Amino acid sequence: MSTADPELTPQSYKTDEHPIWCPGCGDFGVLASLYNVLAELQIQPRNLVIVSGIGCSGRTPGFIKSYGFHSIHGRVLPVALGVKITNPELCVIGVGGDGDGFAIGGGHIPHAARRNPDFVYIVMDNSTYGLTKGQYSPTSPSGFQAGSTPYGNIERPLQPLALLLSYGASFIAQGYSGKPKQLTELIHKAIEHRGFAFVNVISPCITFYNTYKVIPPRLMEIPPEHDTSNRVKAFDLALQTDHIPLGLLYQTSLPTFEEGLSEVIRKAQAASPPRLDEIFAEFS
């Protein structure tokens, strides 16, 4: 923050657009946590980009004073990566839902994890397609009844935390929209992490899959003695079925995609490019 920049508060990031989510939607908790984190870190709106996909969470860029990109279905990560490598100095935050991220967008997650770009990906996981009237999603439990599965979902749900661990993500955490203080702390850590930071947020859909009563008894705080550098122990937590672990599961330090790309550019600029006639001679 330069001396000319006034101190920012959570209110500083609110736009004139008012969220039109259903009253009680868990996404309000995620948005409030984002406002708080941005103010804590004093991130200037001109240095911030929010990228979203399709779904209720896709509206998020309109509610945050920053640059925003409401991308097409499932394409949060490639768009966020393009923004980051174009200007590595920007703070880039991708937001999306479980359907956007793990269905049509699921193929992008392993590549984002292995490349390790320095940005945050927040998934607001409500286990349903809330925007399109509550169909089952990749994280819906077996037996879930909805318009698309009136006799119960016969598929097993994906396990986001285990997936990200297997893909090699360098930061993996899980929060609950009903615990905004903890969620704020997790997003804060994610932004400060150097590399691809994934935060899964259990964010109930009040209208089509109201889990506010059934989720709290299953929440389990990750104990403070948990070794966040131990990937095997993180898998033990990620594969929990009876409980929902909250907190930081795993964190490690890896070279970022931007660092590698910068080195490639440096080598390319230092190399003597072949002349066109030399190239043509190879094929003559």
Sheet hosting strand 48-52, strand order edge to edge: 67-70, 48-52, 91-97, 120-125, 197-202, 171-176, 244-251, 219-221
Q: Would residue 134 count as lying in a domain?
A: yes
Q: What is the percent of the chain where pLDDT is above 90?
A: 86
* CATH number, domain with residue 205: 3.40.50.970
At 170-225, the pLDDT tens digits run 999 999 999 999 999 999 999 999 999 999 999 999 999 999 999 999 999 999 99
The domain of 62 spans 10-254
Q: Would residue 213 count as lying in a domain?
A: yes
Rounded to whole angstroms, how far apart are CA atoms 136 and 157?
A: 10
User: On the CB side of 212, how many CA atoms lie within 13 Å of its CA?
Assistant: 11
* DSSP code, position 177: T
CA dihedral 226, 227, 231, 234 (to 10 degrees): 10
- What's residue 33's pLDDT? 98
At 27-72, the pLDDT tens digits run 999 999 999 999 999 999 999 999 999 999 999 999 999 999 999 9
- What's residue 3's pLDDT? 58
Number of domains in the chain: 1
At 217-234, the pLDDT tens digits run 999 999 999 999 999 999
Average pLDDT over residues 246-273: 93
Encoded amino acid at 132, one letter: T
Q: Would residue 140 count as lying in a domain?
A: yes
Buried residues in 179-193 as b, exposed as e (16+ CB within 10 A)? bbebbbbbbbbbbeb
- What's residue 2's pLDDT? 54
Q: Would residue 244 count as lying in a domain?
A: yes
Q: What is the mean pLDDT of the chain?
A: 94
Q: Would residue 22 count as lying in a domain?
A: yes
> HEC profile for 5-58?
CCCCCHHHHECCCCCCCCCCCCHHHHHHHHHHHHHHHCCCHHHEEEEECCCHHH
* DSSP code, position 59: G
Question: At 269, is the pLDDT very low, low, confident or very high (cuts 50, 70, 90)?
Answer: confident
pTM as predicted:
0.93
Q: Would residue 32 count as lying in a domain?
A: yes
Rg (CA), the chain: 20
Positive or negative torsion for Cα 128, 92, 254, 247: negative
Question: At 5, is the pLDDT very low, low, confident or very high (cuts 50, 70, 90)?
Answer: confident
Question: At 281, is the pLDDT very low, low, confident or very high (cuts 50, 70, 90)?
Answer: confident
- What's residue 258's pLDDT? 96
Which residues have C-beta within 8 Å of that of residue 214, sequence separation ≥ 6?
none
- Look at phi and psi of residue 143 and say left if phi exceeds 0, alpha if psi is from -120 to 50, else beta: left
Q: Would residue 2 count as lying in a domain?
A: no
Average pLDDT over residues 160-164: 98
Q: Would residue 203 count as lying in a domain?
A: yes
